[in-house]
Structure 1
Amino acid sequence: MTSTPLWRNRDFALLWSGQVVSTLGARISATAMPLLVLALTGSPADAGLVGAAATLPYLIGHLPAGPLVDRWDRRRVLLASEVTAALTLATVPVALWLEVLTVGHLAVAAFVHGLCFVFFGLAEAAALPLIVPPAQLHTAIARNEVRTRGAALAGGPLGGLLFGIDRALPFVVEALSYAVASVALLFLRRDLQDRTPEPPEPLWRAALTGLRWIWRHPLIRAASLLVAASNLIFQAIILVLVVRAQDGGASPAETGVMLGIYSGGGMLGAVAAGWLHRYFAPRTVIIGVNWAWAALLPLFLVTDAPLWLGTIGAATTFAGPLWNVVIVGYFASLVPNHLQGRVTSASKTLSWGVMPVGALVGGMLLSWVGAEGAVVVLSVVMLAVAVAATASPAVRGSRAVAEAASVADPTVGGSPGGRGSADGGTE
C-alpha cells in the first residue's frame, strides 16, 4: 500500500483532530463529575455510583454493540454517537441552572454518555485499519494514544478550573466539543465498511463469535483478563486519589492539577511508545508493566499532597500507552476486519466490563476503610495480578504475530485489515 506520511492521510487527520477536541471535553467533564457529586451530596458512595453508571455500558453494551458496528454503517455510528453524547451532556448544565439536578440524573447522563463511548470506540477501532495502511497501524494507534493522553493532561486542570468558576461550565464545554467533533466526521471520504460477504446470523450468535475467537488465542485471552484486573484497580484508584487530596485540603483547582499531572505521565508514555514498541515483545510488556504498577501503587500512602499524588500517578500512567500500542496493535494485526467489531467488543467486555465494579469498590472502600486503607487493599490486589501475569503459560509462551495469526484463524491472511509485521522485539 501507499507510504504516504500519516499526517497527509486526510481521513485520519480529520478523525484524529475531531477526537482531540471531543476527548478534551470528555476529560474536562470526567474531572468535574465526581467534584459535582461530592458538592451535591458530600458522599463518596454517590460519586462511586455515578462512576459505576458511566462505566456500566462497558459491561453490558460491548457484546451487542460489536455485531451492530460490523453490520451498520460505521460512519453513521460515529456521527450518531457524538451527537447523542452532546445532547445528553447538555442536560446537566440545564438542570443545574433550573436547580433540579439530582444524583439519579447524573447517573443516567453518565450511562448514556458511556454507551455512546462504547459504540464510537468500536466503530473507530474497526474503521482504523481501513483508513491507514497496515504498515502504519501501530503508528496510528500510538498517535491515538497521544491524543487521549494529551487531552487527559489538559482536561484535568481545565476541568477543575472551570468547575471552580461555575459548576455547569465543564459540561457546557463538553457538549460543545462533541458538536465540533461531529462536524469533522461529516467530511470523511473513506468507505469505512468491510465488504466481506457473511451469512446472516442472530445477534446473540454474532456476539459470541468474538468470544470464541478470543478463547482460541491464549495470549489475547490472558491479556484481556489481566487488563480487566488492572482496570478494576485503577478505576477505584482515581476516586480514592480525589478523596485523598480533598482530605488533605485540596481545592477543586488543585485536584484538577493533580489529575492533570497524573495524566501527564500517560502523555509522555504515549510519545515514547511511538518508538519503544519496536523493541518489546508482548510478553515483556505484559509482565513488566504489571510489576511496575505493583511497585508504584503503595507510594500513594506516602503523601496526601496533590502535587505528589499526581507525580506518583504520572509514573503509573507512563507505562500504560506502551501496553496499548503493543498489545492493541498485536490484536488489530491478527483480527480480520469483518470481525473487528465483534472481537473488539468481546475483548472490551472482558477487560472493561469490570470498570463499574471498580467504581463501586472504590466508593465502598472509601466508606469502610478510608483513603489510606483503600490504597493498601488495591496495592495488594495489584501485586497478585503481577504474580499471575508472570506465572501465566499463555504470556510466557506467546508467539510472534504471523505465527499466532495462523493458529487463531488460518483464513485471515487476505483480510482487508491485513497483518502487519511481527511487533515483538528482543526481550
Structure 2
Amino acid sequence: MTTAEAGAEPTASAAAPPSSPPLRANRDFRLLWIGQALSDFGSSMTFVVLPLVLLAGGYSTSVAGTVGTVILVTAMVARMPAGYLADRYNHRALMLAADLARFAVFAVVAVWTFAGRLPLAVAVAAVVVAQLGAELFKPSQSAVVRLVVPREQLPTAVSLNQARGYAAEIAAPAAAGLLVAVSLGLPLAVDAATFAASAVCVYLLSPTARASRATPLTAAPPTADEAEERFLRRLTAGLRYVAGNRFLRTLAVLSTGLNLLFQALVYALILGLGQGEGGSGAVGAAMSAAAVTGLVGSLVAPFLQRRLRIQVLVAAGPAVAGVLLAVAWWSGSGVAFAASFAAICLLTPVIGAALGVVLVTLVPREIFGRTTAAIGFVTEILQPLGPLAAGLLLATLPMSGVAALFACCFAVLAVLALLLPNAPKPPAPDSPTP
C-alpha cells in the first residue's frame, strides 16, 4: 500500500480551497464532538461519584481507591491491542460497540446502586469495561476525524476535542454534587444515558465516515508459528514506527519525563497544600483553576501552533512551570506552587494538539491506530510512579525543597525540548509507505 492510499484523505483535504466550510458546518465532526462531549461529562461525574458509592456501601478508603488503580492498569494493558483493532476493523463499528458496552454496564451499576449496596466486584468490572471501551473508542475516533476534517482544519479540530474534555472536568464535579444530593445512583444513570447518546451520534455518521477503516494486510494462510510472529509484528508496528522516526522517538522520550513530573506535581500539590489549614479548599481551588486554564489552552492552541515552532511549544510549559516553582522555593508560597500546576495545564493541551496534528498528517493510515496507541503507552508508562515520588519527596523534604527540585527538573526538560529535531514533512502522495 502506498502513502497516497494510506493518507489519501488528508492529502486531498490539503488541496481543498481556502473556502472549506467551517467545522461547525461539518456534520460528521459535529456529531462526534457532541457525542463525546456528553460522554466525557458523564464519565467525569462517574470518576467523582463511584468512590463515594463504595464508601457509602461500607468499604474502606483504601478499597475505594483501588478503582483508580484498576483504571490505570486497564488502560496500559488495553492500549496496544486497541490500536491494533482500530487498524484492522471498521471504525464506526468499534465505536458503537464501545459505547453500547459502556451504556449497558453503567445502566446495571446505576440500577444496582438505586437498589442497595453496590458490590465491589461489579464496580471493578464496570471500570474495566469502561476503560476498555475508552481505549477502543479513542484511536477509531481519531481515524474518523482524520478522514472527515480537511487538513488545514485539523489543528482546530484537535484543539476542540481537547477543550471538550477540560470543559467536562470543570462542569462535572459540580453537577455530580447536585445529583448525589438527590440520589447516589443518579449520576451513574446520567453517565449511562450519555453513552447511549454518543452511540446515537456515531450511528448517524455519514456513509463516508461509516466506511472508515484501515485496509487489513492480506497474505497466504501462514503456519501457526508464522501467524504468531506476524501477529506480534503487526501488534508492535506502531512501536517500531515511533522507534524508527527520530522526531517521534525523541518527543516520546521527552513526553514520558514530562508526564511523570506532571503526575508528581499533581500529588505534591494535593498532599502538600492539603496538610495545611483550609487545605481542602486550597486544593479544590487549585484544581478548578487548572481545569479552566486547560480549557483556555485548548482554545488558543490553533493560534499558537500557527505562530510558534513545535520546539518552543513543548518547551514553554516546563519553562514557565520551572520559573513559578523557583518562586515557590524562594518565597515558600503555596500560591506560586499552585500557579505552576495551572501553567502546565495551560500549555499541556497546546503540546497535545501539536503532537496530534503531526500524527494525523505524518503517520500512514494503515498503522495510525497502533502508532497513536504506542505514543500513549510509551509516554504514560512512568506515570504510576508520580504519586509515589511525590509522597516520598514530601516525607523527606519541606514543600519549598520539593518546589526547588521540581523547578530544576522542569528547567532541564525545557532545555531538552528546544533541542528537539524538526518535525518531518508529510509524505508526498507518490512516496512509499515506511
Q: Assess same fold via TM > 0.5.
A: yes
Aligned mate of 1:76, from 55, 71, 93: 93
Q: Distance in 2 between matches of 1:249 and 1:170?
A: 31
Alignment-derived partner of residue 366 in structure 2? 338
Cα distance in 1 between the residues matched to 2:250 and 2:295: 26
Q: Is the 8 A contact 1:262 1:317 kept in 2?
A: yes
The amino acid across from 1:77 in the alignment is L
- Structure 1: runs of 5+ lacking an equivalent: 414-427
1:174 aligned to 2:197? no
1:5-44 pair list within 5 angstroms? 5-36=22-53, 41=59, 43=61
Unaligned segments of structure 2, at least 5 residues: 1-12, 220-226
What is the TM-score normalised by the length of structure 1? 0.80
Cα displacement string for residues 22-42 of structure 1 (whole angstroms, at most 9, x for unaligned residues): 111112222334555666555
Hey, what's the Cα distance between the residues in 2 that align with 1:309 and 1:95? 42
Equivalence map 1:22-421=2 (5 Å): 22-36=39-53, 41=59, 43=61, 45-46=62-63, 48-189=65-206, 190-191=208-209, 192-194=211-213, 196=215, 198-200=217-219, 202-235=230-263, 238=266, 259-296=287-324, 302-303=333-334, 313-355=341-383, 357-358=384-385, 362=387, 366=391, 369=394, 380=405, 383-384=408-409, 386-388=411-413, 390-391=415-416, 396-402=419-425, 411-412=432-433
| Helix, strand or coil at the partner of 1:215 | helix
1:236–1:362 Cα contact (<8 Å) kept: yes
Using the TM superposition, give the Cα deviation of residue 388 of structure 1 relative to its aligned residue in structure 2, in angstroms. 4.2
Amino acid at match of 2:318: N
**Post-superposition offset of 1:330:** 1.5
What is residue 6 of structure 2 aligned with on the other side? Answer: none
Aligned residues: 401
Counterparts of 1:90 and 1:251 in 2: how far apart (Å)? 36
- TM-aligned CA deviation for residue 295 of structure 1: 4.0
Name the CA distance, whole Å, in 1 between partners of 2:214 and 2:365: 9
Counterpart CA distance in 1 for 2:280 and 2:64 is 15
CA separation of 1:169 and 1:205: change in aligned 2, threshold 3 A? same
Contact in 1 for aligned 2:267/2:390 (Cα 8 Å):
no
Question: SS state of the match for residue 56, structure 1?
Answer: helix
Aligned partner letter, 2:156: T
How many Å apart are 1:362 and its aligned residue? 2.4
For the residues of structure 1 that align with 2:71 and 2:214, how far apart are their CA atoms?
33
Q: Is the 8 A contact 2:265 2:341 kept in 1?
A: no
Change (3 A) 1:337 1:382: farther
1:196/1:97 CA distance change after superposition, 3 Å:
closer
> Which whole-Å CA distance do the structure 2 matches of 1:169 and 1:103 have between them?
18
- 1: CA distance between counterparts of 2:363 and 2:233? 18
One-letter amino acid of the structure 2 residue matched with residue 50 of structure 1: V
| 1:163-191 Cα deviation digits (max 9, x unpaired) | 45543333222121111111111100123
Alpha-carbon offset, residue 214 of structure 1: 0.3
Given the two structures, how large is their TM-score scaled by the length of structure 2? Answer: 0.79
Q: Measure, in 2, the Cα distance between the counterparts of 1:386 and 1:216.
A: 28
Q: What is the alpha-carbon root mean square deviation over aligned residues?
A: 3.6
Q: What's the CA shift for 1:64?
A: 1.4
Alignment partner, residue 418 of structure 1: none
Q: Tell whether the 8 Å contact from 2:318 to 2:344 is kept in structure 1 after alignment.
A: no
Mean Cα displacement is larger for which, 250-259 or 343-352? Answer: 250-259
Map Cα deviations across residues 315-356 of structure 1 (whole Å, 9 max, x no partner).
33111111111122112211111211111111111123444x
Cα distance, 1:380–1:119 mapped onto 2, change above 3 Å: farther
Higher deviation after alignment, 236-245 or 164-173: 236-245
| Bigger Rg, which one | 2
Identity of aligned residues (%): 25
